[in-house]
Amino acid sequence: MIRTVFYEDWEMECCGTPFSVGDKVTWKVVRSTLPPGKRPAPVDAGDGAGELFVFTAHSSQTGTPATLTGRVRRIQVVIQGYRASRREPDSFSPVPGDFRLRPVDACPKWFENGVGGQLPPREGRAYRRDETGVLVELEDAAEG
């Protein structure tokens, strides 16, 4: 069975250990409670359910943590678009559905903000792209 896990940038930068395609990992995860449009990417978990798990080392996610073990089959850096608030130009919010996936062989330890340099404004407001984590496919993943 293939399971898809979103591993947030701050979790890796704080205390994470980078991993590569082919590595066997055991992670604490919760099932995603992110509503449609807020998920980091379209998810095809291989079982047709579109289930997404979120890595959690700090219990910042809601839900009961489970342990997931599997071999890393694919890693993609999630690059999310952000637009400045109309009321607070220094405050940025994610643009639902505005993301890109960049395949990599190994998860980075550090993620980049302002990907692509200065970008043209959208809807008259400042716009930027940030790397927000990685989307990981785990093969033969089993909950324990």
Model confidence pLDDT, tens digit, residues 11-31: 999 999 999 999 999 999 988
Strand boundaries in 2-46, DSSP class E: 3-8, 24-31
Model confidence pLDDT, tens digit, residues 46-73: 343 467 888 988 766 667 888 999 999 9
Q: What is the pTM of this model?
A: 0.83
Q: Which residue ranges make up each domain of the chain?
A: 3-143
Among 45-49, 64-68, 74-78, 83-87, the range with the most confident prediction by mean pLDDT is: 74-78
- With cut-offs at 50, 70 and 90, classify the pLDDT of residue 44: very low
CB 5 within 8 A of CB 72: no
Residue 42 pLDDT = 47
